[in-house]
Amino acid sequence: MTIWNANLYDQKHDFVSKFGGSLVDLLAPKKNERILDVGCGTGDLAYEIAALGANVQGIDASHDMIIAAQQKYPDITFHTMDATLLDLTPQFDAVFSNAALHWMKQPDEVIQNIYNALKQGGRFVAEMGGHSNIASIVWALQKSMEELKLSYIEDYFPWYFPTLEEYQAKLEGAGFTVEIIKLYERPTPLQGEDGLRNWLMMFSNKLLQHLSEIEKEQIYKKCEELLKPEFYQNHQWVVDYCRLRFVAIKK
């Protein structure tokens, strides 16, 4: 289970929501549509969708994220819920998800549950980390652990970064018709000189869960050393994000 710091997420990682903005345009929510936001985080995009007149519900597996979302946006319904356990009747006009599906390592269950929650003709509009996403960070984490003689535990790897073909096949296997799907590079700037360190503190928690705080600090430092020559330019860290974006319809 990944432990999320909702405060750090809002302060240092608001780029996640900002980059999700154009995904809301792709969703094109209509007035009174029922929309489910899967992996809603602290609720910023759910709020944007609701502001366009849709009736939004947000779910996230992190209770801390949901508490923060509910405090920020008391007029929206949020629930702590794991998408792999989602069991809803067909009631939504659309399911939306930004930067969340790559944290769900049982994609077949998640896709099927989303399909089941959609009305006939409903759309699944999402963006997630795709093949080669953060490849440099994954390499640096593995290399750091190797150099520091710390054990790398494959089962603790928290992400699922599929190829376009793999994910399209999963969507179609569940019954979706894929209207749009693309995998694209999206270099992503992080905030400040501590940008990479903050990113690692936020997102590599599960991978490093067996290590002491001192060992984690050593890894953050080693990752900075390894990545600085290529990924720190003009006083800013820029990470090699690759995103998979799609629109799929329940026919």
Structural domain includes residue 1: no
Residue owning tokens 């390894």: 226
Number of domains in the chain: 1
Task: For residue 39, tell me if it sits in a domain.
Answer: yes
Classified as helix, coil or strand, 190 is coil
| Residues near 209 by beta carbon (within 8 Å), at least 6 away in sequence | 156
Residues 12, 203, 194, 144, Cα dihedral to 10°: 180
What are the start-end ranges of the E strands in 137-219? Answer: 176-185, 188-189
Whether residue 13 lies inside any domain: the answer is yes
Burial class (CB in 10 A: 0-12, 13-18, 19+), 191: middle
Provide the domain limits for residue 229. Answer: 6-250
Give the C-alpha distances (Å, rounded to integers) separating 12 from 44, 71, 189, 190, 191.
14, 19, 11, 8, 7
228 inside domain = yes
Q: What is the pLDDT of residue 22?
A: 87
What's the pLDDT at 20? 53
pLDDT for 8 equals: 53
CATH number at residue 230: 3.40.50.150
pLDDT for res 178: 96
What pLDDT shows up at residue 55? 98
* Series of mean pLDDT values for 10-residue runs along the chain (251 residues): 50 51 89 98 96 98 96 97 96 98 98 98 98 98 98 96 98 97 94 94 95 98 98 94 96 91
Q: What is the pTM of this model?
A: 0.89
